[in-house]
Homo-oligomer: A and B are copies of this chain.
């Protein structure tokens, strides 16, 4: 069964046809231009959908979008990454325009499904996917199905408290994982301790060049990420933790110390059995996952 995946991002809009194997058959993309408002973006999205489905036997459409959203009613609520969008009945509107069944889920869940199905977790039964970029999000895929949670908030680990004495951030708990270990948090510490304005990217560059303060900022983020991962392990004990998102692209600077730290925080019997892997699909995870959403 072929489906259309829509990856509605704050920066880019991608639309593609996804086959049963989770491969992208054809793809269109452009800048989202979210600031031009929902109608503009929706028209662009529907135009792409019409273009890619020409001559194809398409069964359904899956959309991955920044949250918060209501996956059960197909409504985008008020995502910080889509300014000006508020209570948009996205599923209804795309359904009307295309006459196809449409499902909506948040972008982290879509990426989690892609990684668990055709990415780094394709050979295991349970995956907890974590994306570390501007924010921190996640998705839990059990037996190749997304666990939504009762209110669609499964995987919202950015708000997990990992240090009650730690910093907060708007809309997040004091000491929340995202407030302490996201790209934004790393950038904030860079500004505070090093006086730089280049965000997480500059902190990583300085650490790479040997700057001790920059290294400590990254160590601190790794420490909190390790607590967050260990907490997930003791809560659901997934077969594999998969790490995606921009911050993880810094590569082994983060991944190897992180793996070591997680071992310090889990039961001894789990130390050698936990699998922690880098995401395999990179930027394509959202699009592929959106298509896979529609295949369920």
Interface residues of A in 133-172 (CB under 8 A from B): 140, 142, 147-165
A165 near B165: Cβ-Cβ < 8 Å: yes
A152 near B237: Cβ-Cβ < 8 Å: yes
Q: Which residues of B contact A153 (CB under 8 A)?
A: 233-234, 237, 267, 269-270
Task: Flag whether A255 is at the interface (Cβ < 8 A).
Answer: no
Task: Flag whether A235 is at the interface (Cβ < 8 A).
Answer: yes
Q: Which stretch, A23-31, A182-190, A224-232, touches the partner chain B?
A: A224-232
B160 near A163: Cβ-Cβ < 8 Å: no
Chain A interface, number of residues (Cβ within 8 angstroms): 44
With A152-B237, A234-B159 known as contacts, the answer to whether A68 contacts B269 (CB < 8 A) is yes
Query: 13 more A-B contacts (CB under 8 A) besides A164-B227, A165-B165?
Result: A150-B237, A150-B238, A150-B240, A151-B237, A153-B233, A157-B234, A159-B266, A159-B267, A161-B162, A162-B164, A163-B163, A231-B235, A235-B236
22 contacts between A and B (CB under 8 A): A126-B150, A142-B147, A149-B238, A150-B237, A150-B238, A151-B273, A153-B234, A153-B267, A153-B270, A154-B236, A156-B235, A159-B266, A159-B267, A160-B230, A160-B235, A161-B230, A162-B164, A164-B227, A165-B165, A173-B265, A232-B235, A236-B236
